[in-house]
Structure 1
């Protein structure tokens, strides 16, 4: 026999006609799979309206309560009429020969039913108005009408969907004590009553009121927070059901607050203990009482969405998820932190206990409490609205100590949010470190900390204004869905534009296959800047940037600092420099100081004096921030990474030789084919191979910078001025700033250059522009040279094609056959690909923490 299941529907699920129809459809679908019982809450805002009606009646104004009850009646009638019309329409379509008014199931007279049911309520409120008092017992009776309305209406509609049903008032079987508003259940007595009632229902669908109970002598009670869920689990326990399904408007227990996290997603499985942990930290979906009947009977609980009934939702049972790791991050807001400090060294026991006792006696909920080991400080997190009352209760408890000047009144900080990471099997060796490191990297101050021995949760109190940032940061740090990387890109020229295009093209694949979400949150050039924390629309960045406000200052550091302040507040912030601008060193320093990682395609910050260069590297290390700059030498070729691996593994480098410039390699190849120099340079610039002004390439300065970067990777103390640099053309040609006049002068030089090239060819040599770093490891002597060199046809550089670059490393291990790295060495696309690779390496490093 198929085991029974209990389905519970919340008030929002039955608060409109279309939703009520959806519920009847779901009940029909689930009933086809096996026997079910249904628990339902009051429609929409009915419970709040009933509280309002009782409140105004208690002031003696029963006439003011009538319009509120009319609102309750109107919602019930309008909702049920709309559902009734749809059910009758369906019935007529299945039997075209019959008139809708002659449907097989009797048509319930909903208005008459609502009017009849609410008549006793109007009489109760008249009594409340006469007495000018609404006791907790009376309020429970008033509230009972909400569930009685919704459950009786649903039971009346189900037969029209082909499902015989019976309305069950839970007050007939759910026995409680007389703690009105939050009654305690007598499970044994309730089970006995239910066992006596059940045979009378037969095989029809029993629709029970949620939230309600009754004392042994028949007085109405309510079960308090999550009362309808509790009714469902109690019913399941008594009927020995296989599963409880809570149908709501969310797809399950989410990994975080979906109003904060765009990428929050439903958890497939979790354990009872995880659910209890969530309940302890204020998750509205759970209450410890709700879980107890399930745990006792080992009944599974499934959270499902009425909006997506085919989704599996979240299953909660004894086993939980198979894999260990965090489940979700929660944020309980609108709290206050009370901090009490002892003025003298004291080992007196019980101070913390006295504080907690005072708060308990005052009826104040304590969400978190901790006490310093020496007993001189106590901190508690409580609801913000209770802060004043809590301070007064603590002052009263410690009045003697205050009179002796041993303790001050509690300090109050508000608003506070309690941020919690929950997991069934959390690694205590790394989870806490990762949790707090992630918060620290984005500058979220932690005000108090708590972690239980079970390691099922880590909690901290943070300032309320940091809630969204903290939730996003922790959610990303623990890879609930993917590693989110926040990029601020400087420059949108040849490399920057290609990078934006590649990110747009690869975003979906990176998210799907690698769990990495690249989000370009900012874009800036010399004049304007865009910043959108949720991510820019990359398909229209040009139009958006053109409409963006101008930068507040012409000074680069001053203009970019506000953007860095905003970037640091986002998960895994990365500054990407695709410019060739001067003065970026201070910008990098400010980025590192804020814990921002840097990816640079700009060589200039790496070729500052040894003092500033060392300071930047120290700043990155101090901030534990990554600084990656692979593309500054050889575009996307792994030149720096290869050299770093050689050095780290203890190899001794004797020579580094290479064509570091794809642009000069292309120019050299073209002129060797007979193309005039000026035309070859213009072609290289048009292809995006050169720097914005080709003189930086022709002067050899660009190659010298690359040689300097590699020399410093080798640990050499070297300044740019110490490199012997010979330009490809006469130095007088390089003084011209204007590009067209520069190319005119270059054209005049074509014949001179061609004559020298003819002589070189006559000797059977090949023109290449190379850099050489020669070292004597035993003496520490070294020499760095950059310039045009004629090489033999069998030299590795002689066979380079187009913008191809190569680097040869001669070392102790690679002495006879140097280690060669060769490939495309210039171009916006390949350089952008190298920049993207550096970004992804940072992402992979962060995921590995």
Structure 2
């Protein structure tokens, strides 16, 4: 429910994703500057992500798991492999600067900034490695801080460049570094944000904030790579924004246009935070559920816009919205999911197996999409690499030596809506799958009318998405509400 005390003429907080940031000319034209008159440039706070692919180089590849600087440092299979990777990263970042700044003086400033950061990281990691070589200090105790520091490098790089480029055009942009670089004090997140923005005059300045915030809560430990959404969300809350806006390289649509014919896909237009939570659970990243919670509780509406279609209103996400008639809003899912199942008639209880499962998924930083259980079997559906899943299976085998443990790659396909007729969706979908000879391994629905999930063979994912989109969305009146 929207707040009644909000000044609707106030400022917005806007987040720009990494893929969009890599096309700065489009970002400048479509989002930041466009046709705005001078006074329209301000009363906005921007939170920017690292350029596309940079965080993969700093940490590890999000999809393939290929190690970046962090993973090489943490793995310690080759003591100095991370240093060589850091040097390659340095070259990649200055190459971005080369494409970003035609003016030599500006490029020199950008290069000096990022080289100072990267070399500072190198010195820190060498010192830490040397310290831990004595045996009194354990490297594992410091890895979260290392991950935080590395994540902040990419965010600072893009934010500094953006502010510098805008300043060169006469725009009063201001770089707000929230990464904690060389800071001795670690504040609670909200306090850090308040202090960092306290001196900013939003009527005359355009703050460009890093997506990572160093704080007592430790965003990496809690949210891993969802940290920029938390920064964005909390800035909106602590500054009392009238609206929060996320600029992505695509619309929030009824299906992935790479799978379903783009001519048949529609922009959602309106939905609610409950739907956004389900999308985030499947990795669609409309917004992290914990980030959405703050916006929802404060009555701040969230808008998802396409960075390359500035005149399109996008999709508005609010707390209390429900479609006027029961309908499916989106068909989505995840093509590669690891189903780990434990069958043990000798275990004291399923609860004991579940506790071990939860501990392992937390330890290996694996996201749990769903679970199912009966009297003697528990199955978790995990967003994990095969390597991570095998580690979990091995640990479970040690803890429950008499259990039958299986690992299977599956897909999850979901029908989601703000006002979903779950019974009809479930029945109609199962009939359609049967007619198309698509085997359903499991089906999940809850008492809350927002989502139905189907577990299928991963090879049938695309076919299933197209089938359900045609069945549940195509052919109905296009009543998405643009706002």
1:481 aligns with 2:471: no
Higher mean alpha-carbon deviation, 254-263 vs 300-309, is at 254-263
Judged with a 3 Å threshold, the aligned counterparts in structure 2 of structure 1 residues 27 and 321 are, in CA distance, closer, same or farther, namely: farther
Q: Distance in 2 between matches of 1:219 and 1:475?
A: 36
C-alpha displacement at 1:139, in angstroms?
3.3
Could you tell me which residue of structure 1 aligns to residue 15 of structure 2?
A: 8
Equivalent of 1:154, from 162, 178, 200? 162
Q: Distance in 2 between matches of 1:50 and 1:390?
A: 25
TM-score, normalised to structure 1, is 0.47
C-alpha displacement at 1:340, in angstroms?
3.8
Could you tell me which residue of structure 1 aligns to residue 25 of structure 2?
A: 18
Q: Is this contact kept in 1: 2:42–2:205, CA < 8 A? A: no
Q: Is this contact kept in 2: 1:448–1:460, CA < 8 A? A: yes
Judged with a 3 Å threshold, the aligned counterparts in structure 2 of structure 1 residues 126 and 186 are, in CA distance, closer, same or farther, namely: closer
Q: Distance in 1 between matches of 2:38 and 2:273?
A: 24
Judged with a 3 Å threshold, the aligned counterparts in structure 2 of structure 1 residues 20 and 283 are, in CA distance, closer, same or farther, namely: closer
Q: Is this contact kept in 2: 1:416–1:463, CA < 8 A? A: yes
Q: Deviations over 1:551-587 (max 9, x none)?
A: xxxxxxxxxxxxxxxxxxxxxxxxxxxxxxxxxxxxx
TM-score, normalised to structure 2, is 0.80
Q: Distance in 1 between matches of 2:109 and 2:190?
A: 37
**SS of the residue aligned with 1:293?**
helix
Could you tell me which residue of structure 1 aligns to residue 178 of structure 2?
A: 170
Q: Distance in 1 between matches of 2:159 and 2:171?
A: 15
Could you tell me which residue of structure 1 aligns to residue 125 of structure 2?
A: 128
Could you tell me which residue of structure 2 aligns to residue 72 of structure 1?
A: 93
Q: Is this contact kept in 2: 1:304–1:311, CA < 8 A? A: yes
Q: Distance in 2 between matches of 1:31 and 1:468?
A: 47
Could you tell me which residue of structure 2 aligns to residue 315 of structure 1?
A: 316
Q: Is this contact kept in 1: 2:173–2:208, CA < 8 A? A: yes
Could you tell me which residue of structure 1 aligns to residue 229 of structure 2?
A: 229
Could you tell me which residue of structure 2 aligns to residue 362 of structure 1?
A: 360
Judged with a 3 Å threshold, the aligned counterparts in structure 2 of structure 1 residues 171 and 272 are, in CA distance, closer, same or farther, namely: same
Equivalent of 1:412, from 404, 407, 413? 407
Q: Deviations over 1:85-129 (max 9, x none)?
A: xxxxxxxxxxxxxxxxxxxxxx96232332244224214314424
Q: Deviations over 1:488-526 (max 9, x none)?
A: xxxxxxxxxxxxxxxxxxxxxxx999xxxxxxxxxxxxx
**SS of the residue aligned with 1:256?**
coil
Judged with a 3 Å threshold, the aligned counterparts in structure 2 of structure 1 residues 29 and 231 are, in CA distance, closer, same or farther, namely: farther
Judged with a 3 Å threshold, the aligned counterparts in structure 2 of structure 1 residues 152 and 336 are, in CA distance, closer, same or farther, namely: closer
Judged with a 3 Å threshold, the aligned counterparts in structure 2 of structure 1 residues 287 and 321 are, in CA distance, closer, same or farther, namely: same
Identify unmatched segments of 5+ residues in structure 1: 85-106, 179-184, 403-407, 484-510, 514-849
Total equivalences in the alignment: 436
Q: Distance in 2 between matches of 1:327 and 1:151?
A: 35
Q: Distance in 2 between matches of 1:116 and 1:191?
A: 22
Q: Is this contact kept in 2: 1:147–1:210, CA < 8 A? A: yes
1:423 aligns with 2:417: yes
Q: Say which structure, 1 or 2, has more relative contact order (CA 8 Å, 6+ apart).
A: 2
Q: Deviations over 1:245-290 (max 9, x none)?
A: 1111102x12122221113222101001111122223323321122
C-alpha displacement at 1:234, in angstroms?
0.9
Q: Is this contact kept in 1: 2:350–2:376, CA < 8 A? A: no
Spell out the pairing of 1:131-530 with structure 2 (5 A cutoff): 131=129, 135-171=143-179, 186-190=188-192, 192-194=194-196, 197-199=198-200, 203-215=204-216, 224-251=224-251, 253-262=252-261, 263-323=264-324, 324-341=326-343, 351-363=349-361, 364-372=366-374, 375-382=375-382, 383=384, 385=386, 386-399=388-401, 402=402, 408-413=403-408, 415-478=409-472, 480-482=473-475
C-alpha displacement at 1:460, in angstroms?
1.9
Q: Distance in 2 between matches of 1:116 and 1:378?
A: 51
**SS of the residue aligned with 1:69?**
helix
C-alpha displacement at 1:209, in angstroms?
0.8
Q: Is this contact kept in 1: 2:179–2:212, CA < 8 A? A: no
Judged with a 3 Å threshold, the aligned counterparts in structure 2 of structure 1 residues 280 and 111 are, in CA distance, closer, same or farther, namely: same
Q: Distance in 2 between matches of 1:206 and 1:411?
A: 51
Judged with a 3 Å threshold, the aligned counterparts in structure 2 of structure 1 residues 295 and 410 are, in CA distance, closer, same or farther, namely: same
**SS of the residue aligned with 2:438?**
coil
**SS of the residue aligned with 1:417?**
strand
C-alpha displacement at 1:30, in angstroms?
10
Judged with a 3 Å threshold, the aligned counterparts in structure 2 of structure 1 residues 319 and 291 are, in CA distance, closer, same or farther, namely: same
Q: Distance in 1 between matches of 2:289 and 2:429?
A: 26
1:118 aligns with 2:115: yes
Could you tell me which residue of structure 1 aligns to residue 134 of structure 2?
A: none
Q: Distance in 2 between matches of 1:30 and 1:389?
A: 56
Could you tell me which residue of structure 2 aligns to residue 505 of structure 1?
A: none
Q: Distance in 2 between matches of 1:228 and 1:293?
A: 14
Q: Is this contact kept in 2: 1:3–1:34, CA < 8 A? A: no
C-alpha displacement at 1:329, in angstroms?
1.4
Cα RMSD of the aligned pairs, angstroms, is 3.4
Q: Distance in 2 between matches of 1:220 and 1:336?
A: 24
C-alpha displacement at 1:163, in angstroms?
2.6
C-alpha displacement at 1:393, in angstroms?
3.4
Q: Is this contact kept in 2: 1:212–1:222, CA < 8 A? A: no
Q: Distance in 2 between matches of 1:304 and 1:443?
A: 38
**SS of the residue aligned with 1:254?**
coil
Q: Is this contact kept in 2: 1:54–1:142, CA < 8 A? A: yes
Judged with a 3 Å threshold, the aligned counterparts in structure 2 of structure 1 residues 80 and 41 are, in CA distance, closer, same or farther, namely: farther
Which structure has the greater CA radius of gyration? 1
Judged with a 3 Å threshold, the aligned counterparts in structure 2 of structure 1 residues 68 and 361 are, in CA distance, closer, same or farther, namely: same
